């Protein structure tokens, strides 16, 4: 009886709509700053802390969803109920049908399955995979895998703010599938997915959209987007790590590119992590309910950051779409001339400020971010600042207080002062 009540509690946690006890405002501590242990965590686009709703659902599901959901005895059926409830919840938020949703072990795995599975099912239509030049590495790695297996890849360029021209996405002869992100992970630019989908569909070509940046951060509806496949990653929206979402719309030709078993309707092999999936669904439902209240606050931080940076320092190039309507609203990127990205990260880290960089000196391979290169942006001195539900005004203030001094210090050390004002 107690068990039954707990299962119904878990199902309730998953039900769409506002979750009681989870205030949309950040739980600011005495300092006014947000993420425990980090004075200013501003890298929410890399990963974001577990949502309280996800934590609560996780704990319930660890107790009640531990058994094999493919088994028919009572414990198995309980796990199955939770898995089904999670699937319904995710489908509801994304405007999909439950049988269109599968869970993978990561967003990367979901993107690989989406792209390669569609290419496999449509190999008679051709061997071309089209991708934008600014896709996440998971999509580009899947495309590279397709190329190594003998297929062809066509890369579609972007403009200076990182956006594709829908006309540039005209499918070439023999295109099996195309992939266009919903929004860019480094600069936040929203892509014209619906327009591209329409053009592709006119030629009978399906579209995958990597929505890892947008799911749980702005309203995402599979059918409004017009994409045939959509993928996302739970840890990007307050779910636990280890859960990816793969949506394959009914009628889309898709075949597993690798071994299959009976799990996830034959789409994703291997034992599913039911508690983590339940937690991911709870996070997504909670995020969907909070978005309307939170988005203006985070967009305000981004707008202020973009306004103040050029006032506070010389030679800073703001990246992405200057029009807030064309951007996700919680990510902002910029590059500082004559500065190493690595030195910026280190200087900010000393002050307890966590951000990320697309500059080459911050990567292992010494090559700059392919996104910045495709945009024609300055690749050195690059920073990406990304806000999340826990972000506060104090986080932004900490960054704006510290960054100009760090930039001045690095430029002085490199002897890069007095090198002339902008435009000669």
Partner 1 sequence: MTPTPDVVDARGRRCPLPIIDLARAFGSVATGETITLWADDPAAGPDVVAWCRLRGQELVATRELPTGGQEFVVRRRG
- Which residues contact partner 1 by CB under 8 A? 315, 317, 335, 337-340, 359-361, 366-368, 372-373, 376-381, 414-416, 419-420, 422-424
Q: Which residue in the list 67, 361, 373, 400 is annotated as catalytic? A: 361
Question: Count of CB atoms within 10 A of residue 146's CB?
Answer: 24
Query: Nearest Cα to 354, choosing from 319, 383, 382?
Result: 383
First-residue to last-residue Cα distance in the chain: 78
Cβ distance to partner 1 smaller for residue 224 or 312? 312
Kindly give the pairing relationship between strand 207-210 and strand 229-233: parallel
Tokens of 101: 């949703």
CB of 315 to partner 1, least distance (A): 7
CB of 332 to partner 1, least distance (A): 18
Query: Nearest Cα to 279, choosing from 19, 12, 60?
Result: 60
CB of 201 to partner 1, least distance (A): 34
**Alpha carbons within 13 A on the beta-carbon side of 232:** 33
Cβ distance to partner 1 smaller for residue 312 or 414? 414
Q: Facing residues of 209 across strands? A: 230
Kindly give the pairing relationship between strand 331-336 and strand 382-386: antiparallel
CB of 307 to partner 1, least distance (A): 19
Three-class SS state of 424:
coil
Cβ distance to partner 1 smaller for residue 225 or 374? 374
Q: In what order do the strands lie in the sheet with 229-233?
A: 101-104, 244-248, 229-233, 207-210, 175-179, 128-132, 152-156
Rounded CA separation 3/5 (Å)? 5
| Sign of the alpha-carbon dihedral angle for 248, 234, 282, 58 | positive
Cα angle vertex 288, ends 102, 285, to 5°? 50
Residue 361 annotated among the catalytic residues of the structure = yes
Q: Facing residues of 356 across strands? A: 384
Cβ distance to partner 1 smaller for residue 72 or 365? 365
CB of 411 to partner 1, least distance (A): 9
CB of 160 to partner 1, least distance (A): 9
* Strand runs labelled E in 211-273: 229-233, 244-248
Query: Nearest Cα to 51, choosing from 282, 322, 306?
Result: 282
Tokens of 319: 């990246």
Cβ distance to partner 1 smaller for residue 51 or 411? 411
Cβ distance to partner 1 smaller for residue 331 or 372? 372
Q: Which residues are catalytic?
A: 361
């Amino acid at each position: 009886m107690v068990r039954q009540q707990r299962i119904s509690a878990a199902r309730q946690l998953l039900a769409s709509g506002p979750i009681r006890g989870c205030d949309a405002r950040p739980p600011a501590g005495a300092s006014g700053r947000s993420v425990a242990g980090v004075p200013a965590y501003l890298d929410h686009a890399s990963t974001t802390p577990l949502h309280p709703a996800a934590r609560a659902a996780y704990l319930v599901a660890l107790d009640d969803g531990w058994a094999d959901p493919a088994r028919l005895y009572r414990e198995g059926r309980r796990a199955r109920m939770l898995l089904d409830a999670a699937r319904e919840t995710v489908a509801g938020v994304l405007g999909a049908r439950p049988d269109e949703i599968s869970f993978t072990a990561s967003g990367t795995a979901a993107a690989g399955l989406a792209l390669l599975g569609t290419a496999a099912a449509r190999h008679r239509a051709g061997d071309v995979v089209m991708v934008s030049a600014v896709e996440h590495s998971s999509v580009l790695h899947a495309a590279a895998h397709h190329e190594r297996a003998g297929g062809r890849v066509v890369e579609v360029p972007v403009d200076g703010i990182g956006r594709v021209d829908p006309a540039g996405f005209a499918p070439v002869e023999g295109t099996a599938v195309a992939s266009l992100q919903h929004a860019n992970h480094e600069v936040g630019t929203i892509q014209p997915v619906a327009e591209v989908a329409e053009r592709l569909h006119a030629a009978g070509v399906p579209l995958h959209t990597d929505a890892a940046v947008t799911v749980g951060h702005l309203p995402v509806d599979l059918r409004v987007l017009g994409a045939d496949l959509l993928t996302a990653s739970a840890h990007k929206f307050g779910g636990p790590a280890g859960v990816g979402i793969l949506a394959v719309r009914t009628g889309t030709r898709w075949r597993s590119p690798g071994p299959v078993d009976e799990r996830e309707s034959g789409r994703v092999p291997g034992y599913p992590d039911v508690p983590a999936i339940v937690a991911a669904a709870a996070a997504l439902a909670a995020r969907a309910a909070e978005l309307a209240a939170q988005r203006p606050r985070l967009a305000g931080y981004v707008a202020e950051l973009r306004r103040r940076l050029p006032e506070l320092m010389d030679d800073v190039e703001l990246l992405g779409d200057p029009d807030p309507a064309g951007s996700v609203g919680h990510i902002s990127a910029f590059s500082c001339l004559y500065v190493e990205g690595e030195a910026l990260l280190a200087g900010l880290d000393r002050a307890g400020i966590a951000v990320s960089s697309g500059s080459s000196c911050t990567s292992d391979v010494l090559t700059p971010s392919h996104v910045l290169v495709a945009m024609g942006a300055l690749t050195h001195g690059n920073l990406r600042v990304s806000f999340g539900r826990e972000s506060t005004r104090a986080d932004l203030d900490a960054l704006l207080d510290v960054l100009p001094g760090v930039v001045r210090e690095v430029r002085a050390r490199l002897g890069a002062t007095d090198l002339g004002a902008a435009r000669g």
